[in-house]
Structure 1
Amino acid sequence: MASQALDLFLSTNIEDLKAKGLYNVIDTVQGPNGPVIQIDGKSLINLSSNNYLGLATDSRLVDAAVQAAKTHGAGAGAVRTINGTLDLHNQLEEKLAGFKHTEAVIVYQSGFNCNMAAISAVMDSNDAILSDELNHASIIDGCRLSKAKVIRYKHSDMEDLRSQAKAAKESGLYNKIMVITDGVFSMDGDIAKLPEIVKIAEEFDLITYVDDAHGSGVLGEGAGTVKHFGLSDRIDFQIGTLSKAIGVVGGYVAGSKQLIEWLKLRSRPFLFSTSQPPAVIAACIAAVDILMNDKELIDKLWKNGRFLKDGLRALGYDIGHSETPITPCIIGDEVKTQQFSKRLIEEGVYAKSIVFPTVPKGTGRIRNMPTAAHTKEMLEQVIGVYEKVGKEMNLIG
């Protein structure tokens, strides 16, 4: 018999989320996740994917995955430290190190796993972490797992960061102090002030940690935010995902040989979780090859991002201060944001609402993600739908 206490907890809280506009309905995509998707038999222009360069459906990645499954099997068969490290894993890590301009790389099963693994492998209860207040949930959880003292600084506020770093350093309470930031903040599209962060870090001997999930494949000719600022030799940890611009799944940490050696010895997701299957790794290798040799997709991504931004801004929408193709359309009220998203979908544009706890309360938004795979005609149709629904709901004049 199910626990009555559990039933009461679940039913009460689920209804509360629905009443506040915080209940998320999960839709099922029928077929590939490309620029146009099928949901419930209806074709929708897709603006909610992180498939920035359209590689998730690229035939070159598909072919590489199929071939690797035939030559290496469906699964890796073990954790990396026993005999789950295949030649393909080594090839990917070597290629990523070249791509990120670092000495070495370690690959994990997800980007979330990277932050859970890397932070807790290096930081402990005798240390402190300076963390941007808008950092990703995986960073927050990784910090918690480490048991280090977490000191939040105001978003991209370098005066506050310097003040907090100075106080932490001069307190003498901590063996090590780390500063952690997203490279690109995924809900607003703004870029971390890495040159200033590095300057502060070097002044106070801070370990530098950049989660570049949304910068890799987008900035720095594809190599990411760190390369964009020319700081590849001055950042200790570079975190990237294989599930966004790369188009597959997984994550990695790039850094010095000694750092990667330590993570292979002490990061728990690496030690206790079966490694990624051959098809996944081979598809990732193919994607990195494409990024290293052809910038056409990156150029198309930025062109589409500028076109959508200009169109929504001209209509009168608040699109925030994004510096990347990520294009938020900020509505505010959570219930209204959910209603707006529903109407967009009804009109043929799949643009999901983003509300608390993903973003702060009262800042509900539609996070639009144009990709390299969208055509100009698709984006023109999107802007037309935004105009129709916005006027219908009195969100624009």
Structure 2
Amino acid sequence: MPTDLEKGLEEALARRQADGLYRRRVTLESPQGAEVVVAGRKRVNFCSNDYLGLAAHPEVVRAWQRGAERYGVGSGASHLVCGHMTPHRALEEELAEFTGRPRALLFSSGYQANLGVVTALAGRGDWVLEDRLNHASLLDGARLAGARLKRFPHGDAAALETLPHRARLIATDGVFSMDGDLAPLPQLAQRCRDHACWLYVDDAHGFGVLGEKGAGILEHFRLGRSDVPILMATLGKALGVCGAFVAGGDALIETLIQQARTYIYTTALPPAAAEAIRASLRLVRKEKWRREHLEALIARFRAGADALGFSLSPSQTPIQPLILGSSRRAWEVSRKLRERGFWVAAIRPPTVPAGTARLRITLTAAHTETQVDGLLDALARSL
């Protein structure tokens, strides 16, 4: 018989389901790609963050296999015990060089990186100012640090004309994960210079995609380390593998090694994963056509959506949200698309604000023009 505690959980779950907010996992039966197999049926995948189509790239897969053969499948310990291996060091050096910074430090996930940085650099009495639509991990980092968190209006650098005493960090997503728009980094950098505080940018959705060589939003805006002292990016989206890194100066990286609890107390990434990421980074460097093809697909999708009268958010990135309002409607349209052979996730509160449930459509370099046109046709018949 369920206990009173279990009954309480069951009732809360039932309410969530009645409100159209219940989340269910879907199991893929194929590698990540433009087409995936779900429940024995192929569907064109328009909800992946594998923006450059590298998650199942043969060179990346072979690099993982060779890394496993040479270094094994596990790192065995945290970086500070005996888990820091040759592939980790090589990857950190290559990421530092690619981003134009003295040092880089690997983390096991972007969530851990954000928690680790904010808690290492801010504490009780310090102010941390964050964009209202920042990723949950940045917001959670400020709360965990015990800092005074102030959320400013989305994309509004003018709201930071004056800052509280002991303002320590201004933290922002580079590309906002649910809207696809860009943070006003040049203006935020100026605010930080004016008030002598750190600017911390989470470039999870820009790294590998934006910029002439794919170095991300800082390259896009032509900003350097003096503008943005702390850069974080993930390695499981455009680079297609897993993990994250923070790049910056020597003092910053050494401070994180000494004080970032999510780095100190976490088993290091598998060395084979580091080898796979190195292979992926080489592809980002040498295959510019992936970004060019992706840009062309984004333009094609937006032009087609405009011709059909769809109202898209103003995004020039692979993230193209179609806001539908109610959670039930977003889920229903997502279901209709699945029936027509397209997989597009319905994103509902609390991931997005109430009343802004949406289809989060993501394009990748692995898609074809025919697949994009097919999605537009399916949307026209499903809305």
The TM tier, using the shorter chain, reads over 0.9
The aligned residue for residue 379 of structure 1 is 372
Could you tell me which of 257, 262, 276 is aligned with 1:283? 276
The aligned residue for residue 226 of structure 1 is 218
Task: Work out whether 1:318 is the aligned partner of 2:306.
Answer: no
Deviation at residue 313 of structure 1 after TM alignment: 2.2
Aligned sequence identity (%): 36
Secondary structure (helix, strand or coil) at the match of 2:154 reads coil
Unaligned runs of 5+ residues in structure 2 are none
Q: Distance in 1 between matches of 2:289 and 2:250?
A: 32
Could you tell me which of 332, 335, 344 is aligned with 1:351? 344
CA contact (8 A) 1:306 1:325 kept: no
CA contact (8 A) 1:69 1:278 kept: yes
CA contact (8 A) 1:326 1:369 kept: yes
Secondary structure (helix, strand or coil) at the match of 1:44 reads strand
CA contact (8 A) 1:117 1:267 kept: yes
Structure 1 segment 293-312 matched on structure 2, within 5 A? 293-312=286-305
Deviation at residue 322 of structure 1 after TM alignment: 1.1
The aligned residue for residue 326 of structure 2 is 333
Could you tell me which of 258, 261, 266 is aligned with 2:251? 258
Q: Distance in 2 between matches of 1:225 and 1:52?
A: 15
Task: Work out whether 1:244 is the aligned partner of 2:243.
Answer: no
Deviation at residue 20 of structure 1 after TM alignment: 1.0
The aligned residue for residue 85 of structure 1 is 84
Superposed CA offset, 1:186-212 (max 9, x none): 111100000000111101112110000
AA aligned opposite 1:379:
V
Q: Distance in 2 between matches of 1:25 and 1:208?
A: 36
The aligned residue for residue 335 of structure 2 is 342
Q: Distance in 1 between matches of 2:117 and 2:367?
A: 35
Superposed CA offset, 1:352-388 (max 9, x none): 1001011000001000011000011111111111111
Q: Distance in 1 between matches of 2:272 and 2:278?
A: 10
Deviation at residue 8 of structure 1 after TM alignment: 1.9
Q: Distance in 1 between matches of 2:139 and 2:193?
A: 23
Deviation at residue 312 of structure 1 after TM alignment: 1.7
Q: Distance in 1 between matches of 2:115 and 2:46?
A: 29
CA contact (8 A) 2:53 2:366 kept: yes
Q: Distance in 2 between matches of 1:150 and 1:13?
A: 29
Q: Distance in 2 between matches of 1:312 and 1:37?
A: 24
Q: Distance in 1 between matches of 2:359 and 2:297?
A: 17
Superposed CA offset, 1:209-260 (max 9, x none): 0000001011113101112111122211101000100100101101111100
AA aligned opposite 1:213:
A
The aligned residue for residue 21 of structure 2 is 22
Deviation at residue 22 of structure 1 after TM alignment: 0.7
Deviation at residue 19 of structure 1 after TM alignment: 1.1
AA aligned opposite 2:106:
V
Secondary structure (helix, strand or coil) at the match of 1:56 reads coil
Q: Distance in 2 between matches of 1:232 and 1:94?
A: 18
Superposed CA offset, 1:124-157 (max 9, x none): 0021001000000111111111111001100011
* TM-score between both structures, scaled by the size of structure 1: 0.94
Deviation at residue 6 of structure 1 after TM alignment: 2.1
Task: Work out whether 1:216 is the aligned partner of 2:215.
Answer: no
Deviation at residue 293 of structure 1 after TM alignment: 2.4
Secondary structure (helix, strand or coil) at the match of 2:37 reads strand
CA contact (8 A) 1:100 1:232 kept: no
Size of the aligned set, in residue pairs, is 381
Task: Work out whether 1:156 is the aligned partner of 2:147.
Answer: no
Structure 1 segment 74-153 matched on structure 2, within 5 A? 74-153=73-152
Deviation at residue 309 of structure 1 after TM alignment: 1.6
The aligned residue for residue 46 of structure 1 is 45
Superposed CA offset, 1:75-108 (max 9, x none): 1111100110001000000000111111110001
Q: Distance in 2 between matches of 1:226 and 1:198?
A: 11
CA contact (8 A) 2:133 2:154 kept: yes
AA aligned opposite 1:95:
E
Secondary structure (helix, strand or coil) at the match of 1:181 reads strand
Could you tell me which of 183, 201, 216 is aligned with 2:192? 201
Q: Distance in 2 between matches of 1:211 and 1:5?
A: 42
CA contact (8 A) 1:337 1:366 kept: yes
Q: Distance in 1 between matches of 2:56 and 2:107?
A: 22
CA contact (8 A) 1:317 1:330 kept: no
The aligned residue for residue 71 of structure 2 is 72
* TM-score between both structures, scaled by the size of structure 2: 0.97
**Displaced runs of 4 or more, over 4 A:** none
Deviation at residue 323 of structure 1 after TM alignment: 2.6
